[in-house]
Amino acid sequence: MGVSDDRRLAVLRAIVEDYVSTHEPVGSRALVERHRLGVSPATIRNDMAVLEEEGYIAQPHTSAGRIPTDKGYRLFVDRLANLKPMSPAERRAIQAFLDGAVDLDDVVDRTVRLLAQITRQAAVVQYPSLSRAAVRHVEVVPVGGRSALLVLITDTGRVEQRVVQVRSAGDLDALPEQLAALRDRVNAAVAGKRLKQAREELTAVVQASEPGQTAVAAEVVAALGECLTAGLEERVVIAGTANLVRSGADLSASLGSVLEALEEHVVLLRLVQEMAEEGVTDRGALSVRIGAENLHLGLPETSVVTSGYGEGEVLARLGVLGPTRMDYPTTMAAVRAVSRYVSRILSQ
C-alpha cells in the first residue's frame, strides 16, 4: 500500500482500535460514527474493499464487519501506532514497586509480576544473559567429609553453586588446605574472564597443579566447569498466565497449547532469542511478533511484545504475551517503561 492514501490508513487504524476495544467485527457505519472521518459509510466501504484486497483486513463471513489480519496489525504496529505514554501515577507505581528489590532474583521476580499486572497479560522476563558476564569470584567451601561447596559469582550479580564429592581425596584432614590453595589458583586464572573463556582456562589449572593433587583438582575443576556451563544457561520467568483466560474466550480454543508452550521454558527462550536477533519491529528496543509469526513455537493467535534491557548494553529481554488482538499502543508503552526502569535499577 502506498503512503498516498492517508484516509485508507486512517480507516485501518480505526478498524484496529475499534476491534481491539469491542472484540467484534466493525462495519462501515459504526466506523464513521465513532471516528470523525468526515466521509460517508459508502466511501469507507470502498476503502475497506481495497484494504481487504491488499490483505490488511478480512471478514469472518459475508455480510459481517471487518477484522484486522496479522498483516493489518503489522502495518498498524509499524507505522500507525502512537505509543500511549504512561501517566505519572503509573510511572511512580512502577518505580516504587521495583525500588524495593533487594536482589537480582528479586528484581526479576518483581518485574515479571509488575508487567503481568499492568498489562493484564502474561509476562516473560529473561534472566540477564551470562554469555557476556565475567567471573567475579570462585569460592570453594569444605563442608565436612569429602564434600565441598562450589560457589561461582558473576559480575551481573548471579550466583551459581554446586556440591561436589571429592572421591579421590587421600588425606581428609589435609583436604581443606588443598582446596583453599586450589581456590586461589583458580581465582587467579579466571577472575575477570568471561564465562566461556574461563571454562577454557580451567584445564591449564589442573595441569599446573602439584603432582599429588591433580586428581582432586580435576574433580573440583570438572564440577566448576559444570557450574560455568549452568551459569551460561539462559533462564526465563513467567507470570500472569491467569490473565490469558480472562482476556477473552476467543483465545480459549488455543489456550491449552499456549499454556503448554509457556511451561516449556525452552520454547520461550527460543522465542526471546529470535526476537533479539531479528528485531522484527524496532522502535527503540521494542520488538513485536504478531500472530502466525509465532506459530512455529506452538503459539497460535498470540502476539508478543518484548524489549531488550540491561545496564548499558542489552543483556536480556522482557516482555508480554497475549492474544493477537491486544492493545498494542498501551502494551508497548508499558513494556518500554518497565524495561527502562529495570535497566536503570540494574545499573546500580
Partner DNA sequence: CTTGGCACTCGGGTTCGGCGAGTGCCAGGC
Partner DNA sequence: GCCTGGCACTCGCCGAACCCGAGTGCCAAG
Q: Does 231 bind a copy of itself (CB under 8 A)?
A: no
- Span 26-45, contacts to a copy of itself by CB under 8 A: none
**Stretches 14-22, 75-83, 245-253, 270-278: which one binds a copy of itself (CB under 8 A)?**
245-253
Residue among 50, 61, 54, 48 at smallest CA distance from 16: 48
Which residue is associated with the grid cell 545496564? 311
Helices 104-119 and 328-346 pack at an angle, to 10 degrees, of 160
Q: Does 61 bind DNA (CB under 7 A)?
A: yes
Grid coordinates given for 171: 588425606
Which residue is associated with the grid cell 520454547? 267
Binding residue for a copy of itself, selected from 53, 55, 131, 143, defined by CB under 8 A = 143
**Which amino acid type is present at position 20?**
V
Which residue is associated with the grid cell 491488499? 54
Binding residue for DNA, selected from 11, 12, 14, 30, defined by CB under 7 A = 30
Binding residue for DNA, selected from 1, 23, 34, 43, defined by CB under 7 A = 43
- Span 266-325, contacts to a copy of itself by CB under 8 A: none
To 10 degrees, the CA torsion angle through 115, 117, 121, 124?
30
Q: Could you tell me which residues are beta bridge partners of residue 124? A: 238, 319
Given a copy of itself, DNA, none, residue 7, with its beta carbon under 5 to 8 Å by kind, binds: DNA
Q: Does 245 bind a copy of itself (CB under 8 A)?
A: yes
The residue (of 131 and 252) whose beta carbon lies closer to DNA is 252
Binding residue for a copy of itself, selected from 2, 211, 256, 312, defined by CB under 8 A = 256
**Stretches 43-51, 99-107, 157-165, 225-233: which one binds DNA (CB under 7 A)?**
43-51
Q: How far is the CB of 249 from DNA (least distance, A)?
A: 13
User: At 76, phi and psi to the nearest 5?
Assistant: -60, -50
3-state class (DSSP) for residue 5: coil
